[in-house]
Amino acid sequence: MGSLVLTVGTGSTWSMRASLVLALSGLAWQEQVFDLEDAKAVARLKRVSPTGLVPWLDDGELRIHDSLAIAEYLHELCPGRHFYPENRTERALARSLCAELHSGFGQIRSLLPFFLGAPTQGEPPVETLTELARLQTLWSQARGDFYFGEAGIIDAFYAVMAYRLASYGIALPGQAGAYQQALLAWPLWQETLVRARLQWPAKSRQPV
């Protein structure tokens, strides 16, 4: 295994997810940051990124792009960390839920943009209600502080969503809300937030 370097971008929630999975791994790694609000940095990013996007992970000469692919690579690299449940059925479900987040919840992403500032209050847009109901259903099935009882990729991926909702004063009820609050209080997530706040430009700290 070579030296692990994760390349991220300011304002990128997918970068935060990859960073959180790396933190879970316990491996030594470094972080390279592109300021996505800076035109020169973005131009340089497009020259060196295979897709023009972040994040990507370099492991020696190997480069893996896309947060979900990075998570899967780290799962194979660290089998003892149990990033996915050991049970095959539960493992398939965990992968399915990660993929659903990876490709879905477009209304929430569009109408409730992620930001790092003080929470704001208000009724969620009506267009997001179906997706919020879906999250309510999914999160109500969590087994405790972590979805399958032990911190894994699914928790790293949904922690960002938990924070996004909380930023708009959205706290889900019941077991779903308990899971949301557990993700918000998760020390590794708190460390990821601290790092992001140091890196992200001021304009990323308010909703746009």
Query: Is position 205 within any domain?
Result: no
* Residues 133 and 181 both lie in one domain: yes
Query: Is position 151 within any domain?
Result: yes
* Residues 72 and 103 both lie in one domain: no
- Looking at every residue in the chain, the average pLDDT score rounds to 94
Average confidence (pLDDT) over 2-10:
91
* Residues 67 and 98 both lie in one domain: no
Q: What is the largest distance, in Å, between two alpha-carbon atoms of the chain?
A: 49
- DSSP secondary structure string for all residues of the chain: ---EEEEEETT-HHHHHHHHHHHHHT--EEEEEE-TT-HHHHHHHHHHSSSS-S-EEEETTEEEESHHHHHHHHHHH-GGG-SS-SSHHHHHHHHHHHHHHHH--HHHHHHS----SS----PPPGGGHHHHHHHHHHHTT--SSSTTSS--HHHHHHHHHHHHHHHTT----HHHHHHHHHHHH-HHHHHHHHHHHHHS-GGGGS--
| Structural contact between residues 49 and 88, judged by C-beta atoms closer than 8 angstroms | no
* Residues 94 and 35 both lie in one domain: no
Query: Is position 150 within any domain?
Result: yes
CATH, residue 178? 1.20.1050.10
The tokens for 105 are 């919840």
Which one, of 55, 11, 48, lies nearest residue 29 by Cα? 55
d(CA 102, CA 17): 11
* Residues 119 and 168 both lie in one domain: yes
What pTM was estimated for this model as a whole? 0.94
Percent of the chain with pLDDT over 70: 95
Query: Is position 206 within any domain?
Result: no
The count of domains in the chain is 2
> Quick check: 37 pLDDT over 70?
yes
* Residues 57 and 15 both lie in one domain: yes
Which structural domain, as residue segments, surrounds residue 33? Answer: 4-81+191-200
d(CA 21, CA 112): 24
Query: Is position 50 within any domain?
Result: yes
* Residues 92 and 65 both lie in one domain: no
Q: What is the pLDDT of residues 167-181, one digit of tens each?
A: 999 999 999 999 999
* Residues 126 and 58 both lie in one domain: no
* Residues 169 and 104 both lie in one domain: yes
What type of residue sits at position 140?
S
Q: What is the pLDDT of residues 119-147, one digit of tens each?
A: 999 899 999 999 999 999 999 999 999 99
Query: Is position 208 within any domain?
Result: no
* Residues 183 and 92 both lie in one domain: yes
Query: Is position 20 within any domain?
Result: yes
Which residue has better confidence, 165 or 201? 165
* Residues 40 and 53 both lie in one domain: yes
* Residues 29 and 95 both lie in one domain: no
The tokens for 58 are 């370099």
